[in-house]
Amino acid sequence: MTEVFNKKEYIKKRQKEIEALGIKVLRYTNNDVLNNIEGVLCDIVATTPHPPPYEGGD
């Protein structure tokens, strides 16, 4: 029996598995990355959590 590979369904399933681990998936078109990299980077910074300040130590 041959299973037909459905790329869109595979991507959706994989994204759900990644998100179940608490990881947010961001998607951008090639066009956005090539022609609006500043906007893409601003979106990434605005969307991702900032780590707590370093408190020092050993």
Residue ranges covered by each domain of the chain: 21-47
pTM for the whole structure:
0.67
Predicted confidence (pLDDT) per residue in 3-26, tens digit: 667 999 999 999 999 999 999 999
Predicted confidence (pLDDT) per residue in 31-45, tens digit: 999 999 999 999 999
Cα 50 to chain center, whole Å? 15
Cα–Cα distances in Å, from 36 out to 16, 44, 45, 49? 27, 13, 15, 22
